[in-house]
Amino acid sequence: MIVKSQIKLIRSLHQKKYRNQLGLFFVEGRKTINELLTSRFELNSLYETEEGLIDSKDVRPEIISQDELKKISALTTPSGCLAVFKIPEVQPINSDNWIVALDEIRDPGNLGTIIRLCDWFGVTDLVCSANTVDCYNPKTVQASMGSLARVNVGYTDLNRFLTNSDLPVYGAFMEGHSVYKSDLPEKAVLVMGNEANGISPEIESLISDKIAIPQFGKQSTESLNVATATAILLSEIRRR
C-alpha cells in the first residue's frame, strides 16, 4: 500500500519546478528502470504491482495495487512498475568527442529521442540551452528508453558555452552546405535548433560551419523533424 504523502510527492514530480526543488524524478517501465539501476543514478523508491518485475535482487520494492499505480503514473496504461531516482550531478564535458547542443528544443519526445540517438552514436555529452525542455520530463524519460543512464545531459547559457568552446561549431540549416560534401572533423559541436524556428539568430552568429541534409525528392516538404535530422547528421558524422 502506498500512503498519501508518497502519492502527493510522486504526483508533484510531474512538474519541473518540484523535480528541481526535490532533486528527484520518476521512471516507468521495466527496461528503463533496470537500465538506471545499473548506472550512476541513485534509487529513492521503487513500486511494483507484483514481485519480480525488476531484475535486481538488491532492491526491495513496495508492492502496490494497479489503482494505486494509476494515481502516480504519467501513462494512460501503467506498465506495472515505477521508480523514483535522485537527479545526479552533471559530469564534466568530454571535449575529445563530438558534442550535441540543443537550441530551444521544446518537445519532450524529440529530446528523449535525441538522447537515445546520442547514446547510439557514442555522443556522451548533450548540452541544452536553458529554455530547452527538461530531460527529466516523464515523456522525455520514456522516449529516451534508458539512454539517460549513459548520456551526460546539462543545461547552460548556450551562447556562453559556444563562445568559450575551442571546438568548431556546426549548425543544421536548410540553406547550409550538404553534409555529404562537407569535411567533418573528429570532434566538434553540432547545434540543432528549435522545431519551428530553427537555430536562433544569436546562436547562428557563433556557427562556424552551416551544414544541411539535401532534399532528393521533388515534393514540397518544408523540413525534417529535428530528431530525424539529428539521426541523419550523426550517422554521417560517424560514417567518416
Q: What is the pLDDT of residue 221?
A: 67
The two most distant CA atoms of the chain are separated, in Å, by 60
Amino acid at 23: G
The whole-model pTM stands at 0.93
In the three-class reduction of DSSP (H, G, I as helix; E, B as strand; rest coil), residue 110 is classed as helix
Please tell me what DSSP assigns to residue 90.
P
Q: What is the pLDDT of residue 52?
A: 77
Encode pLDDT of 111-140 as tens digits.
999 999 999 999 999 999 999 999 999 999
Below-70 pLDDT ranges, the chain: 218-221
Cβ proximity of 47 and 78 under 8 Å: no
Burial class (CB in 10 A: 0-12, 13-18, 19+), 167: middle
Own/partner long-range contacts of 24-27 (Cβ < 8 Å, ≥24 apart): 24/84, 24/85, 24/86, 24/87, 25/84, 25/85, 25/87, 25/136, 25/138, 25/141, 26/72, 26/74, 26/82, 26/83, 26/84, 26/85, 26/138, 26/141, 27/82, 27/83, 27/84, 27/85, 27/141
Cβ proximity of 102 and 130 under 8 Å: no
Closest CA to 55 of 33, 85, 79: 33
